């Protein structure tokens, strides 16, 4: 077992195996609770809208996919089986980093997820 022992004010102690995740869950402002942003590496800019994201992705060979779920904003690459599915509401995209990591993973050396 590895982790950090946390002592509460009421005298109770418990083992936290992933302190960064626990801090994020509590929202206490430690390292794990910082806001994430999708950074376009060639320009150094944080993606701030689906319009700018679509321009970048289209330049990389991604195309809008219109035949899928109407509640999703989707892109596919003609030369592969990859599909990027994003929520229609950009605020859900920017508050949930899993979507950003999906884009960064499918476009290495172009995007990176960072604390902003």
pLDDT tens digits, 59-105: 999 999 998 888 999 999 988 899 999 999 998 898 888 999 999 99
What pLDDT is recorded for position 96?
80
Q: How many domains are contained in the chain?
A: 2
Give the model's pLDDT for residue 30: 47
What is the chain's mean pLDDT, rounded?
A: 83
Residues 46 and 9 in one domain: no
Report d(CA 95, CA 76) in Å as an integer.
23
Q: Is the pTM higher than 0.75? A: no
Same domain, 28 and 56: no
Q: Which of 24, 76, 90, 33 is nearest to 100 (CA)?
A: 90
- Say if residue 40 is in the same domain as residue 26: no
Give 24's strand partners: none
Q: Are residues 45 and 101 in the same domain?
A: yes
- Which domain range does residue 16 map to? 1-33
Are 52 and 91 part of one and the same domain? yes
Unique residue bearing structure tokens 């430690």: 30
Q: Quick one: 55 and 94 in the same domain?
A: yes
Same domain, residue pair 57 and 4: no
Distance CA 104, CA 60 (A): 13
If asked whether residues 44 and 27 sit together in one domain, one would say no
Give the residue-averaged pLDDT of 7-27.
Answer: 63
Q: Are residues 26 and 82 in the same domain?
A: no
Specify whether the CB–CB gap between 16 and 8 falls below 8 A. Answer: no
């Amino acid at each position: 077992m590895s982790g950090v022992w946390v002592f509460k004010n009421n005298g109770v102690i418990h083992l936290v195996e992933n302190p960064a995740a626990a801090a994020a869950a509590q929202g206490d402002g430690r390292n794990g609770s910082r806001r994430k942003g999708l950074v376009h590496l060639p320009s150094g800019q944080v993606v701030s809208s689906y319009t700018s994201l679509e321009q970048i992705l289209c330049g990389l060979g991604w195309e809008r996919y219109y035949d899928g779920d109407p509640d999703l904003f989707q892109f596919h690459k003609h030369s592969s089986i990859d599909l990027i599915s994003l929520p229609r509401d950009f605020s859900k995209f920017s508050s949930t980093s899993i979507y950003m990591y999906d884009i960064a993973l499918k476009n290495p050396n172009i995007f990176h997820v960072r604390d902003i």
